Structure 1
Amino acid sequence: MAEAKRRKTGNAETEEVAVRLISQFLLAEERVKELTSKRELVDDVLAGAVARGVVMYPNPEAKSQAALVPISLLPTPFAADCYLQAVELGPTFHELMDKVACDLPWMRQVLHETGKMDAICGRLLGICERVYGSGGKEHCRDVRLNIMRNDFMLDTRSGLGGHPMKQIEINMIAASFSTHGQDLTETHRYVLTKYLPKSLGLTPGALAAALPTSRSAEGIAAAMAGAHFAYSGRRPLRSRPCVVLFVADEDEKNEKKPCAVERAAGDEQSSAKALVVDGREVSVAYFRSGYWPGQFSPLEGCWSAREAVEASEAVKCPSAPAQLAGMKKVQQTLCEPAELHRFLDADRARLLSQTFARQVDPSSSSADAQQAVSAAKSEPANWVLKPQVEGSGELFFDDDIPRVLGSRAQEQLAEFILMERIRPPVTPSAVLGPSGDVVVRSSVAELGIFGTFVADGQQVVRNEVVGHLLRSKGKHTNQGGVFVGNAVVDVPFLVPREIFWPSVAQQNGNHCNTHLQRELNGIR
């Protein structure tokens, strides 16, 4: 027994040393350039990614013309402790979003002015009033399914000496790239094993610790199945076959792997209980579409169909209340301690609030909001102006911020949220350039944590983190988006904090504050 314990301890120490050496290797730009200069490595990454299905369809009608999703050639270093923190906080975030969605009076109050300025927010509020208002259904008694991606960035202004992980947003609808992140992880695992210098002491255990497996596809499928069975348990005497419905755009590009589901558009009809499509009863309606204005055409017909789905007993992912819970105004309001404590006890609220960046409503007359607006006009480089809903418009940076703030009446600014800008660490990242050549660029990364939540009335059936995604982009690129070419699907390599922060301090230069620099000097 003692000998086995010594061997186990020895293996752990060997793996820890290997992780530290590999971390330093991937943080060194020249090393990354040297490794990715091997054409065989590049070919292996591309072949592995295609074989695993990391592809998109430029023309969805021509399935033989798949194109590779923009990807990184090697994983990107990311602070291990922050990744673990994001995973550990996942279930609390999921519970919070469900509690918010179930508190419609609170959301109506919070989003009252926003709904006047943002078309989708206003329409969803109207649906909630008609479906869940006086005499209507009680959302908290429904079967509820949420599939979320919670996005974070690291902030060098906090760094080693504070709480560097900051929440960017939580996506409540059409949270994408779950399978691509999962499959690229396995591709990178193979490439690292094959090409990293043997002197680094790479072992399977070292990769298991530093290159965590993502099981988001299986987790999301299990959540859908859980919602389906919860629905079926409420309707055991169905006379029609039961299906899951995917509501998607006709030109949806982000499809992968055929599923035994019904995909339809345009002929939904609802009875008092069931949602029926082409003679089949829908247990779960999963929305891949419906989060920005261009997806509603014809306008009234699409919104009528959306309300019919909401009024039915089918499980909605997301429901109208859950989609409203993902509005930026809700996120900003939850940054206020009194509002967050409405939903969570003090200890859990404190843990979540450590990840909150400063956010204000620029339409508010409060002293804090007006001070932030003034600061954003005079020093716009320190702020980001964000629209309310996912996909509805681009973010505003730099000189565009005072232009937008100065061109609208104060009440019209309810369309936006003003967020203090994050200063993420810069790390080397290898990608393919426009002509197919390898480019090692200075990149910043955004970590997404996939989570699922299923409840049958008051009973929570499932609440778990199911996987992750990293997206990276050039450090001078403001806008995100993989399909539009601004970012790439990436993979996190988890680096010990005492190695990560000193290394990124050198990459980031004066981004690190004096407190962080003292911390780093102490480590050295």
Structure 2
Amino acid sequence: MWPRRGMGLVLAGFLRACWRSWSMMLWFGALSMGLSSGIKASRTKKVDAFTGRLLDIHSKMLEMNKREDIRLGLHRSDYMLDAETNLLFQIELNTISSSFAGLSCLVSELHRNLINHYGKDLELDSRRVPGNTVVSRYAEALAKAWNEYNNSSAVVMLVVQTEERNMYDQHWLCVVLREMHGVASIRKSLAEIDAEGQVLPDGTLIVGGQTVAVVYFRAGYSPNDYPSESEWRARLLMEQSNAIKCPSISYHLVGTKKIQQELAKPNVLERFLENENDIAKLRKCFAGLWSLDNIDVVKSAIERPELYVLKPQREGGGNNIYGDRVREILIRLQQEGSEELATYILMQRIFPTASCAYLVREGICHQDHAISELGIYGAYLRNKDKVIMNDQCGYLMRTKVSSSNEGGVAAGFAVLDGIYLT
């Protein structure tokens, strides 16, 4: 059964001083675009079949000398607030299918409306609920990309899963795109694109008889999205076209944990940013990230597994490894001398403050101790050397019971929530 979406009944409190740090998204947009231009095959290709297939497609684009003059990224940077230091630590950068732009806005407005009606009784001020405009800003970014393509009869194509669980969030974005910008959209699975798609000699992507200006991926981030060669043919077809990909294959690869680990290394940020204060602020938000060829860190994780998270290249909910399983897997991989070590990274585990929360799921309200995770949405669009858009667009707050490790809403681990600045 598909998990039903839930929501927090009482907004999650959040420190105003930490909230101001959401401006970092502007730097992450430029960083992601810069990193995507330098993606190369790595030793993860030898053992991670899924990432290997993505790298194969990327290599073919390099061999073709495929140029992506117009580049669009709709991304989300996720953070947790560390209880001991009151610092925000980044735990993930999502570069493909950053979901809940539609539903997160609705939850924010619902909370604001409830406070307007019952704020005096609750002693809450609706002005402390930050505005959330991500769905309109994402629609604006897609419309601007569509405009850069310069074909008024072309459409935006959402690449969706065959049995899509999050269709209403996607539909909300498409409605705003149509009503505010007059841009039509279509929805196709990877298998449908393989069956109905073609690339004309001039690079134009045609799917179901319609010219596609922008390909917006809401699927394709998981091995489960590629059950046959049909889906891989579709991905390659789109990459070979001159349609604007959101994201392109190289931008998708920036979201892998190994690439994100590179950001924390010395002199990497300096390649993309000049301001030393900006660089220092970014480094301060990075949680500890280590490859498994760091013997000292692996030894520490085996001895104190509760202080680490073992992360594979991909996410999507339910893939991270915690607790005693961290020790078990590390010992097994060491004993086997397995190259599978290269497909994981270790991340510092963040311990946010747990507080009493009321979580509503399937119409039933549950009281529990809960923690929250903040996501900041961003949009980055450029045409050759001209940056057309680089903005923070809104936020996502997810709340889960403190005993749960994973935090995915679509995967059934968390609920959508709002923010109340304290």
Same fold? TM cut 0.5? yes
1:391-417 CA-to-partner distances (Å, cap 9, x unmatched) read: 285110010001111222352111111
Q: What is aligned with 1:42?
A: none
Q: What is aligned with 1:33?
A: none
More helix by share: 1
Contact preservation (8 Å) 2:4, 2:412 = no
3-state SS, counterpart of residue 57 of structure 2 = helix
Label 1:278 to 1:199 Cα distance change in 2 as closer, same or farther (>3 A). Answer: closer
**Alpha-carbon separation, structure 1, partners of 2:82 and 2:418:** 19
Contact preservation (8 Å) 1:293, 1:392 = no
Shift of 1:484: 3.6
Contact preservation (8 Å) 1:335, 1:359 = yes
Label 1:459 to 1:378 Cα distance change in 2 as closer, same or farther (>3 A). Answer: same
Contact preservation (8 Å) 2:309, 2:320 = yes
Q: What is aligned with 2:166?
A: 254
Q: What is aligned with 2:178?
A: none
Q: What is aligned with 1:91?
A: 26
**Alpha-carbon separation, structure 1, partners of 2:392 and 2:289:** 26
Shift of 1:127: 1.1
1:460-488 CA-to-partner distances (Å, cap 9, x unmatched) read: 11110111010011111112222343211
Q: What is aligned with 2:290?
A: 360
Where in structure 2 are the equivalents of 1:216-295 lying within 5 Å?
A: 216-232=134-150, 241-256=153-168, 257=171, 259=174, 260-264=184-188, 265=192, 266=194, 267-272=196-201, 273-295=203-225
**Alpha-carbon separation, structure 1, partners of 2:50 and 2:122:** 56
**Alpha-carbon separation, structure 1, partners of 2:245 and 2:317:** 21
2:3 corresponds to 1:74: no
**Alpha-carbon separation, structure 2, partners of 1:219 and 1:360:** 35
Label 1:70 to 1:199 Cα distance change in 2 as closer, same or farther (>3 A). Answer: closer
**Alpha-carbon separation, structure 2, partners of 1:417 and 1:68:** 31
**Alpha-carbon separation, structure 2, partners of 1:433 and 1:148:** 27
Q: What is aligned with 1:7?
A: none
**Alpha-carbon separation, structure 1, partners of 2:235 and 2:126:** 45
2:386 corresponds to 1:462: no
Q: What is aligned with 1:184?
A: 107
Contact preservation (8 Å) 1:171, 1:390 = no
2:53 corresponds to 1:123: yes
**Alpha-carbon separation, structure 1, partners of 2:361 and 2:65:** 55
**Alpha-carbon separation, structure 2, partners of 1:118 and 1:393:** 17
**Alpha-carbon separation, structure 1, partners of 2:82 and 2:211:** 48
Contact preservation (8 Å) 2:5, 2:361 = no
Label 1:332 to 1:194 Cα distance change in 2 as closer, same or farther (>3 A). Answer: same
1:370-394 CA-to-partner distances (Å, cap 9, x unmatched) read: 1110000011000000111132851
Q: What is aligned with 1:402?
A: 327
Q: Which runs of 5 or more structure 2 residues have no equivalent in the other structure?
A: 175-183
Label 1:199 to 1:70 Cα distance change in 2 as closer, same or farther (>3 A). Answer: closer
**Alpha-carbon separation, structure 2, partners of 1:356 and 1:430:** 30
Shift of 1:324: 0.5
**Alpha-carbon separation, structure 2, partners of 1:482 and 1:279:** 35
- Figure out how many residues of one structure are paired with residues of the other and give that number: 400
1:285-318 CA-to-partner distances (Å, cap 9, x unmatched) read: 11111111111022x2211210110011000011
**Alpha-carbon separation, structure 2, partners of 1:288 and 1:476:** 29
1:60-95 CA-to-partner distances (Å, cap 9, x unmatched) read: xxxxxxx9621111111011111210x211111111
1:475-523 CA-to-partner distances (Å, cap 9, x unmatched) read: 111122223432110111111xxxxxxxxxxxxxxxxxxxxxxxxxxxx
The alignment's TM-score, normalised by the length of structure 2, stands at 0.90
Contact preservation (8 Å) 1:291, 1:392 = no
Choose the corresponding residue for 1:427, options 355, 368, 381.
Answer: 355
**Alpha-carbon separation, structure 2, partners of 1:89 and 1:211:** 20
Q: What is aligned with 2:70?
A: 143
Where in structure 2 are the equivalents of 1:108-119 lying within 5 Å?
A: 108=40, 112-119=42-49
Shift of 1:348: 2.2
Shift of 1:249: 1.1
Q: What is aligned with 1:168?
A: 91
Q: What is aligned with 2:341?
A: 413
3-state SS, counterpart of residue 226 of structure 1 = helix
3-state SS, counterpart of residue 107 of structure 2 = helix
Contact preservation (8 Å) 2:318, 2:406 = no
Q: What is aligned with 2:313?
A: 388
Label 1:440 to 1:275 Cα distance change in 2 as closer, same or farther (>3 A). Answer: same
**Alpha-carbon separation, structure 2, partners of 1:337 and 1:81:** 27
Greater Rg by CA: 1
Runs of 4+ in 1 over 3 A off after TM superposition: 196-200, 257-260
Shift of 1:350: 1.4
CA RMSD of aligned residues (A): 1.9
3-state SS, counterpart of residue 447 of structure 1 = strand
Q: What is aligned with 2:181?
A: none
**Which letter maps to 2:227?**
S
**Which letter maps to 1:223?**
A
Contact preservation (8 Å) 2:317, 2:406 = no
Q: Give % identity.
A: 32
**Alpha-carbon separation, structure 2, partners of 1:320 and 1:199:** 48
**Which letter maps to 1:432?**
V
3-state SS, counterpart of residue 344 of structure 1 = coil
Label 1:199 to 1:481 Cα distance change in 2 as closer, same or farther (>3 A). Answer: closer
Shift of 1:337: 2.2
3-state SS, counterpart of residue 250 of structure 2 = helix
Q: What is aligned with 2:177?
A: none
**Alpha-carbon separation, structure 2, partners of 1:132 and 1:392:** 31
**Alpha-carbon separation, structure 1, partners of 2:5 and 2:230:** 33
Choose the corresponding residue for 2:232, options 289, 299, 303.
Answer: 303
**Which letter maps to 1:214?**
N
**Alpha-carbon separation, structure 2, partners of 1:132 and 1:383:** 36
Shift of 1:452: 0.6
**Alpha-carbon separation, structure 2, partners of 1:247 and 1:490:** 27
1:263-303 CA-to-partner distances (Å, cap 9, x unmatched) read: 232321112310111221100011111111111022x2211
**Which letter maps to 1:118?**
D
Q: What is aligned with 2:126?
A: 207
**Which letter maps to 1:319?**
S
Shift of 1:132: 2.4
**Which letter maps to 1:316?**
K
Shift of 1:427: 2.0
More strand by share: 2
3-state SS, counterpart of residue 440 of structure 1 = strand
Contact preservation (8 Å) 1:120, 1:291 = no
Label 1:410 to 1:370 Cα distance change in 2 as closer, same or farther (>3 A). Answer: farther
1:422-442 CA-to-partner distances (Å, cap 9, x unmatched) read: 0111122111367x5532221
